[in-house]
A and B are shown apart, each in its own frame.
Chain A
């Protein structure tokens, strides 16, 4: 197909065609970056926690009386919770858990020298010590959470205490950071004043709040018993049982002691906790998707609308071309080729704009680099969109009978 007549006709519509090119370019730039951000956020939302999330629920209880014997209270509560049909495990846990947004972090040092260095500098930097998040709970909390011991041993019943702990477990990531290739089992780590022996390595689990700097797996578990007026109980059950188990647990706990608060906000399945934690990302995904679809819609609208005008404007020309022998297919191809050229100009400009926008976003919002294959993919999508939008007006143009040429407009 000869492009010259199309180009010379477009020259008559420089401004309009230019605007359409600009619109396609802006759309490609924004949509490519938006699509990339959607993928990023979706991956973030699906960060595995390492827990058996589908089977877990949580109840937070606040005692209103002081001077209670917390350990006796917890034992009685747990006993009642374990009697609920469908409950496979019930433990008291510390307030920090993956995606809980509450943090219990410590500066932890792999040796006494490192501890001294950190203390002298009042800083963990360059001391060999790390800021480690800790999870704790009552006996059996490891299994209840769905974590596995992959080296060494589990905590022994006698090791669960309310104060300084004699034993800890590390994730592989934390152990590697501390001890490199050395065997971590039996090493002593220092967290503040307490020193504890590493008795085991635990399967991967993430920090309560993701940092995204590669340190999300640096976690320590210790057998410290919750000992506070406020306690969180963790229940494990079949996924389908969770709502019923939560309701039954609330009723059982309230019946054991009517003088305490079981706030609504503290009763949730782990699925809800994950959703709450990632809620902003979910909102962002929704907004990016609707903005992207909106842009594509508006662009399709622009393409179709302009093509429509041009067909009306050129009805007479089309008639003449038909009268001197052009087939319907020729006319159809003409409009399709014209659209292909315009969108083509738009995507070339758009790819450059997309990269520029990505650079801007990288500098201001710490976004990673846009993978290059998003650009040809976006270009193909816009070409397809353009061809689809121009189809109806082009078909109408092809239907113009040759006799129009003899009429005056």
Chain B
């Protein structure tokens, strides 16, 4: 029966090719535009580290003076940590895994003399960093807490940087020059590029950018005064190690909800103790513990413009669907004569409904195919934008399936009402009119 309906539908569509192609075009445009924007939002809000995200948390303290403006052009300065607070949290060791970190860019010097140095981005971190985020080593290993204390000149390279500097990855024990200092390589990691770069300072909105190429001890970076990127705010005299200068990020790994609750209480207690010392001016209740995905939401990595674009695309889709409903309705009702003949010959209402449903679904499927093509073109054009998130805008299988599904569901939904109306046509009345 289905094949017969499909044949009927094809015939009916072929009878008015211009209108059919315009309907397919309308639905394709609507689906294509909304899927482009949905995909961009999907890649921007997806879990960057699914295997560990449930256990990763970002502690949040509020060391700012009572009436410090809480937001500047780059975001909230209390999203970052001061050196004393970060070190206190690490020393207290209330989490299974923990690390403090900051991003930075340095000049990297190729080993062959005469080659020009280049700027490369990496992370300054405490020893727990690799365990915390589960980085995989191709060669060697990270450094230890004792190396942190000793401000050792050690570095871990990513696969990509090792290849660029040495042309190989078995380089443990060799030295590289970064900035004005020399570092001994202790390990080489497999390239690691969670997108968004959830652990970095989100204020630059650059968290979809290039991944880290090197890692070196935070204390060493401080010692050498290496440049730090991201939002740095201070409200009193004092340098990077003072309690009036926020610039660090801290992440912890907690087993379960009970441990998370305990950790949050620890943060509140810590804030209260700092307030007693006269350091913190804001209520200890400002201390918070964000799960990783909650932290990303808090950072508002999705620009308002993108949300606006999504709403625009969805509005467009709705108008396209209303348009399809009206056209299909007119088209089906015009065939009332045909329907009443079939009904008089014994077709049930359900049969009529299915027949027109198939026709609507066919329009939808064709529109969906066109929509996939338009969405691909749309994503390609998004990737040409210079925004940092743009290059990750690619359709994965789930979004592809969703596109086709959305198109068919959309046009089925759009076809349902017209098909139902057509199936209500009374046989006798129409025959009389003829």
**A299 located at the interface, meaning its Cβ lies under 8 Å from any Cβ of chain B in the complex:** yes
The contact of A301 among B22, B417, B434, by CB within 8 Å, is B22
Cβ of B276: which chain A residues have Cβ within 8 Å of it? none
Cβ of A306: which chain B residues have Cβ within 8 Å of it? 326-327, 330
A26 touches B322 (CB 8 A): yes
Q: A22-B322, A302-B323, A312-B334 are contacts. A280–B22 as well, Cβ < 8 Å? A: no
B154-170 near A? 1/0 per residue, CB < 8 Å: 00000000000000000
Q: A30-B319, A122-B68 are contacts. A305–B330 as well, Cβ < 8 Å? A: yes
B65 touches A123 (CB 8 A): yes
Q: A291-B316, A295-B316, A309-B330 are contacts. A209–B73 as well, Cβ < 8 Å? A: yes
B65 touches A23 (CB 8 A): no
B73 touches A122 (CB 8 A): no
**B325 located at the interface, meaning its Cβ lies under 8 Å from any Cβ of chain A in the complex:** yes
A298 touches B319 (CB 8 A): yes
How many Å from the CB of B26 to the closest CB on chain A?
A: 5
**A16 located at the interface, meaning its Cβ lies under 8 Å from any Cβ of chain B in the complex:** yes
Chain A's closest residue to B390 (CB) is A283
Chain B's closest residue to A12 (CB) is B333
Chain A residues numbered 23-37 whose CB sits less than 8 Å from any CB in chain B: 23, 26-27, 30, 34
**B33 located at the interface, meaning its Cβ lies under 8 Å from any Cβ of chain A in the complex:** yes
Chain A residues numbered 277-314 whose CB sits less than 8 Å from any CB in chain B: 279-280, 283-284, 287-288, 291, 294-295, 298-299, 301-302, 305-306, 308-310, 312-313
What's the Cα separation between A103 and B74 when bound, in Å? Answer: 11
How many Å from the CB of A108 to the closest CB on chain B?
A: 15
Q: A64-B107, A283-B385, A309-B331 are contacts. A19–B304 as well, Cβ < 8 Å? A: no
Q: A16-B330, A30-B315, A365-B308 are contacts. A122–B235 as well, Cβ < 8 Å? A: yes
B67 touches A125 (CB 8 A): yes
Q: A209-B73, A294-B29 are contacts. A34–B312 as well, Cβ < 8 Å? A: yes
Cβ of A284: which chain B residues have Cβ within 8 Å of it? 305, 308-309
B331 touches A123 (CB 8 A): no
What's the Cα separation between A306 and B331 when bound, in Å? Answer: 8
Cβ of A298: which chain B residues have Cβ within 8 Å of it? 26, 29-30, 319-320, 323
How many Å from the CB of A6 to the closest CB on chain B?
A: 17
Chain A residues numbered 1-60 whose CB sits less than 8 Å from any CB in chain B: 15-16, 19-20, 22-23, 26-27, 30, 34
What's the Cα separation between A376 and B326 when bound, in Å? Answer: 26
Number of interface residues of B (CB under 8 A): 51
B117 touches A64 (CB 8 A): yes
B329 touches A305 (CB 8 A): no
Chain B residues numbered 301-325 whose CB sits less than 8 Å from any CB in chain A: 303-305, 307-309, 312-313, 315-316, 318-320, 322-323, 325
A280 touches B305 (CB 8 A): yes
Cβ of A312: which chain B residues have Cβ within 8 Å of it? 334
The contact of B323 among A23, A276, A310, by CB within 8 Å, is A23
Q: Max chain A CB contacts within 10 Å: which of B22, B116, B308, B326? A: B326
Chain A's closest residue to B386 (CB) is A279
What's the Cα separation between A121 and B68 when bound, in Å? Answer: 8
Cβ of A409: which chain B residues have Cβ within 8 Å of it? 337, 434
Q: Max chain B CB contacts within 10 Å: which of A26, A62, A312? A: A26
Chain A's closest residue to B320 (CB) is A298
A30 touches B316 (CB 8 A): yes
Cβ of A122: which chain B residues have Cβ within 8 Å of it? 65-68, 235-236
What's the Cα separation between A95 and B331 when bound, in Å? Answer: 64
The contact of A295 among B23, B180, B319, B334, by CB within 8 Å, is B319
**B431 located at the interface, meaning its Cβ lies under 8 Å from any Cβ of chain A in the complex:** no
**A124 located at the interface, meaning its Cβ lies under 8 Å from any Cβ of chain B in the complex:** yes
Cβ of B19: which chain A residues have Cβ within 8 Å of it? 305, 308
**A66 located at the interface, meaning its Cβ lies under 8 Å from any Cβ of chain B in the complex:** yes
The contact of B69 among A16, A124, A305, by CB within 8 Å, is A124
**B387 located at the interface, meaning its Cβ lies under 8 Å from any Cβ of chain A in the complex:** yes
Chain A's closest residue to B313 (CB) is A291
**A320 located at the interface, meaning its Cβ lies under 8 Å from any Cβ of chain B in the complex:** no
**B432 located at the interface, meaning its Cβ lies under 8 Å from any Cβ of chain A in the complex:** no
Chain B residues numbered 279-315 whose CB sits less than 8 Å from any CB in chain A: 303-305, 307-309, 312-313, 315
Cβ of B303: which chain A residues have Cβ within 8 Å of it? 280
Q: A22-B322, A280-B305 are contacts. A261–B67 as well, Cβ < 8 Å? A: no
What's the Cα separation between A38 and B302 when bound, in Å? Answer: 21
How many Å from the CB of B237 to the closest CB on chain A?
A: 9
Cβ of B93: which chain A residues have Cβ within 8 Å of it? none
**B42 located at the interface, meaning its Cβ lies under 8 Å from any Cβ of chain A in the complex:** no
Chain B residues numbered 226-264 whose CB sits less than 8 Å from any CB in chain A: 235-236
A108-136 near B? 1/0 per residue, CB < 8 Å: 00000000000001111100000000000
What's the Cα separation between A103 and B19 when bound, in Å? Answer: 56
A305 touches B22 (CB 8 A): yes
**B394 located at the interface, meaning its Cβ lies under 8 Å from any Cβ of chain A in the complex:** no
How many Å from the CB of B434 to the closest CB on chain A?
A: 8
Q: A22-B322, A122-B65 are contacts. A294–B330 as well, Cβ < 8 Å? A: no
Chain B's closest residue to A357 (CB) is B315
**B153 located at the interface, meaning its Cβ lies under 8 Å from any Cβ of chain A in the complex:** no
Cβ of B333: which chain A residues have Cβ within 8 Å of it? 16
The 10 closest A-B pairs by CB, nearest first: A122-B65, A19-B326, A309-B330, A302-B323, A123-B67, A23-B322, A305-B327, A26-B319, A298-B26, A30-B315
B residues near A, CB below 8 A? 19, 22-23, 26, 29-30, 33, 65-69, 73, 107, 116-119, 180, 235-236, 303-305, 307-309, 312-313, 315-316, 318-320, 322-323, 325-327, 329-331, 333-334, 337, 385-387, 417, 421, 434
Other than the known A301-B26, A310-B330, what 15 A-B pairs have Cβ atoms closer than 8 Å? A30-B312, A64-B107, A66-B180, A121-B65, A122-B66, A124-B69, A125-B67, A261-B118, A283-B305, A284-B309, A294-B29, A301-B22, A301-B323, A302-B327, A306-B327
A residues near B, CB below 8 A? 15-16, 19-20, 22-23, 26-27, 30, 34, 62, 64, 66, 103, 121-125, 209, 211, 259, 261, 263, 276, 279-280, 283-284, 287-288, 291, 294-295, 298-299, 301-302, 305-306, 308-310, 312-313, 361, 365, 408-409
| 6 A-B pairs (CB sep. < 8 Å) | A30-B312, A122-B65, A122-B235, A125-B69, A294-B316, A310-B330
